[in-house]
Structure 1
Amino acid sequence: MVFETTGGAIAFLLARVLLGGMLAFTGINHFMQTDQMSGYAELKGVPAPTLSVVASGVMLVFGGLSLILGFYPVIGAGALATFLIVATPKMHDFWNAPEDQQQSEMTAFLKNVGLLGGVLIVLALGGTTWPYALDMGLF
């Protein structure tokens, strides 16, 4: 079993809080800065930029909270993975950015790739019973 020790269970809880909290906070930022983010999304060619910013904010908040709480974690992690797979190459296309913006776009791109890795680990563990969770199961 993955969580045989208390230390392992606590480490997994801490990882869930850190990963989920960061992603949920990012989603809240989508609501606090909708106008600015919509303008940037429009520049990147995102269709319905305001709706896209709000919808992605919902995905991030729901997904982040689902990881923290263990509440439908596979659905939450699936929402997060979908967001990261779609948004990362669209919003942080460093290969198309002007030279003075390439480094910051590459950093954002790589951050999202790392976050996607963490979310995929959560998906891989989704079928197990999580310690310190609401334990709502797969779906």
Structure 2
Amino acid sequence: MDVVLLIARVLFVALFFGSALGHLTQTDGMAGYAASKGVPMAKAATLASGVLMLLGGLSVLLGVWGDLGALLLLVFLLPTAFLMHAFWRETDPSAKQTEMIQFNKDVALAGAALAFFWAFSQDPGLTVTGPLLSLG
């Protein structure tokens, strides 16, 4: 089962690496979009979210304090869902639907990050380090 969890980790973090790359290399454009959504200090938030995704993704993928990495991704996902994908503010039906899909995706990924947090707290194997945080 260790291999199954490793495959799940690879599939899970692939999304974050692509997004982190965009946040860190196309910062101005992404910050402009974030500012249009009302995100305060949009450029700093864009860079910070890129770093969160990169560090969290690497941590989960490599199993270096994967529990902490999963929490970093959670810290990115939940605010992003509410700040960037506030579908309840949209009046255009198409925009509302698009934002609802993105909101639900982020919330579902946050649930997956919590599941990975738990899995890493159990020291699942195929990791470089054990858990950093103790649940017991």
TM-score, normalization by structure 1: 0.88
Partners of 2:64 and 2:13 in 1: CA distance = 12
Partners of 2:51 and 2:65 in 1: CA distance = 15
User: Are 1:68 and 2:56 an aligned pair?
Assistant: no
Which blocks of at least 5 consecutive residues in structure 2 are unaligned?
none
Deviation at 1:74, TM superposition (A): 1.7
User: Are 1:97 and 2:96 an aligned pair?
Assistant: no
Partners of 2:112 and 2:17 in 1: CA distance = 14
Residue 117 of structure 1: aligned partner? 111
Partners of 2:106 and 2:81 in 1: CA distance = 6
Q: Percent identity?
A: 35
**Alignment RMSD:** 1.3
User: Contact between 1:25 and 1:61, CA under 8 Å: does it hold in 2?
Assistant: no
Partners of 1:134 and 1:107 in 2: CA distance = 35
Secondary structure of the structure 1 residue equivalent to 2:51: helix
Residue 129 of structure 2: aligned partner? 135
How many equivalent residue pairs?
132
Once the two structures are superposed, residues 63-117 of structure 1 have per-residue CA deviations (whole angstroms, 9 ceiling, x without a partner) of 0111100011121111111111111111000111231311111111111111111
Runs of 4+, deviation exceeding 6 Å: none
Secondary structure of the structure 1 residue equivalent to 2:100: helix
Residue 71 of structure 2: aligned partner? 78
Which blocks of at least 5 consecutive residues in structure 1 are unaligned?
1-7
Partners of 1:97 and 1:78 in 2: CA distance = 30
